[in-house]
Amino acid sequence: MKNFNELTEREILALAISLEEEDERVYADFAEGLRRDFPASTAVFEEMRKEESGHRRRLIELYQEKFGEHIPLIRRQDVRGFVTRRPVWLVRPLGLDTVRKNAAAMEVETRRFYERASAQTKDASIRQLLDDLAQEERVHEDRAEELEAEKLRPDVKAKEEEANRRLFVLQIVQPGLAGLMDGSVSTLAPVFAAAFATKSSHDAFTVGLAASVGAGISMGFAEALSDDGALTGRGHPWIRGVVCGLMTTLGGIGHTLPFLIPSFHAAFLAAVVVVIFELAAITWIRQHYMDTPILSAAFQVIVGGVLVFITGVLIGSA
């Protein structure tokens, strides 16, 4: 890697061309990744791509005038000081907020590059172009906001935000809720059966821990292998699997941890309180994100939880 202050004017122009080409292609990937779910935002990034293309064309014309036809390949990873970009544009489906934050960071980095490059060059025409591009990048963020206001009218933006919420529900909330319900409800029976069968907090904790981790692994793999998300739009299968597995484990661990209390009766009462909070949390999530009526959500969750709890107590007592 070379230090930035070691670059010649020829290399600075070649690097600027490479950076503009990269930004143009990233914006194109943003537009393509948002096209299905966020058509208005797609138009915003298409306009930004065209502006980066115009910058690249002007840089190439000046380079050809000064140094000829051959443009050496110099990329950001060849020069010290650039931020390593996570390739979020390759993820499908793209998150709208993530894309906008990355686009803003790209504009700031490019502006700083032109300001520093301009200060390092002595050729008047090169310096003038770099100064102009620095100024354009400085107002590019304002231009992006103008494009957003123009393309994303309030009604359109509201639709895109609703689409963004639906994707969040499909990719995170739904698998997480499935895991939380399974972990909170299905582990009730083995935990409380072991508790009443042995009257030992330690034994109940051991059974609960094993049941929670085992259920988390099982649910995680089941969710990850259920579909690849290509047709359902539910996102990367392994992300869903991790979310589902962790929430399953968390749901079971919640009412298992109280059995770390040595006193069995105190541990049992604490576990019951935790179960109540778990069922209330599941009810709220179903009502808030899944649009399930609160009474219906409460009835489904509480009745199911109580039945499993009673089953575990009866089996353990027998």
Which of 18-27, 97-106, 139-148, 211-220 shows the lowest mean pLDDT across its residues? Answer: 139-148
Q: Could you tell me which residues come within 8 angstroms of residue 70 by beta carbon, excluding any fewer than 6 positions away?
A: none
The sign of the dihedral angle between the CA atoms of 64, 66, 67, 73 is: negative
Query: What's the CA gap between 236 and 310, in Å, rounded?
Result: 38
Q: What is the per-residue burial (b if ≥16 Cβ within 10 Å, else e) of 11-29?
A: bbbbbbbbbbbbbbebbbb
Nearest 5°: phi and psi at 69? -85, -30
Which of 90-99, 155-164, 208-217, 307-316 shows the lowest mean pLDDT across its residues? Answer: 155-164
Q: What's residue 153's pLDDT?
A: 56
Mean pLDDT estimate for the chain: 82
Q: Bigger pLDDT: 231 or 212?
A: 212
Contacts by residues 277-282 (CB-CB < 8 Å, ≥ 24 positions apart):
278/180, 278/184, 278/251, 278/254, 278/305, 279/184, 279/305, 281/180, 282/177, 282/180, 282/181, 282/184
pLDDT tens for 174-196 read 788 888 888 888 888 888 888 88
State the burial class of residue 63 (Cβ atoms within 10 Å of its Cβ: 0-12, 13-18, 19+).
Answer: buried
Q: What's residue 118's pLDDT?
A: 92
Mean pLDDT of 294-305: 77
Q: Which amino acid makes up residue 111? A: R
What's the predicted TM-score (pTM) here? Answer: 0.52
Contact 216, 168 (CB under 8 A): no
Phi-psi sector, 46: left (phi>0), alpha (psi -120 to 50), beta: alpha
Q: How confident is the model at residue 232 (pLDDT cuts 50, 70, 90)?
A: very low
Of all residues in the chain, what percent carry a pLDDT higher than 70?
A: 85
Q: What's residue 143's pLDDT?
A: 55
Instruction: Please list the residues that pair with 79 across neighbouring strands.
Output: 2
Nearest Cα neighbor of 301 from 134, 140, 141, 186 is: 186
Q: Bigger pLDDT: 47 or 63?
A: 63
- Asked if residue 248 has pLDDT above 50, the reply is yes
Q: Could you tell me which residues come within 8 angstroms of residue 210 by beta carbon, excluding any fewer than 6 positions away?
A: none
- Asked if residue 156 has pLDDT above 60, the reply is no
Which of 122-126, 163-167, 236-240 shows the lowest mean pLDDT across its residues? Answer: 163-167
- Tokens coding 296: 């219906």
Could you tell me how far CA 298 lies from the centroid of its own chain? 30
DSSP 184: I
The sign of the dihedral angle between the CA atoms of 237, 240, 246, 248 is: negative
Mean pLDDT of 110-130: 91
Q: What's residue 216's pLDDT?
A: 87
Which of 17-21, 43-47, 197-201, 222-226 shows the lowest mean pLDDT across its residues? Answer: 222-226
- Asked if residue 231 has pLDDT above 50, the reply is no
- Asked if residue 33 has pLDDT above 90, the reply is no
- Asked if residue 124 has pLDDT above 90, the reply is yes
Of all residues in the chain, what percent carry a pLDDT higher than 90?
A: 23
- Asked if residue 282 has pLDDT above 60, the reply is yes
Nearest Cα neighbor of 66 from 146, 123, 3 is: 123
DSSP 24: H
Nearest Cα neighbor of 171 from 60, 94, 119, 78 is: 94
Q: Bigger pLDDT: 140 or 265?
A: 265
Q: How confident is the model at residue 106 (pLDDT cuts 50, 70, 90)?
A: confident
- Asked if residue 130 has pLDDT above 90, the reply is yes
Contact 289, 169 (CB under 8 A): yes
Query: What's the CA gap between 245 and 175, in Å, rounded?
Result: 9
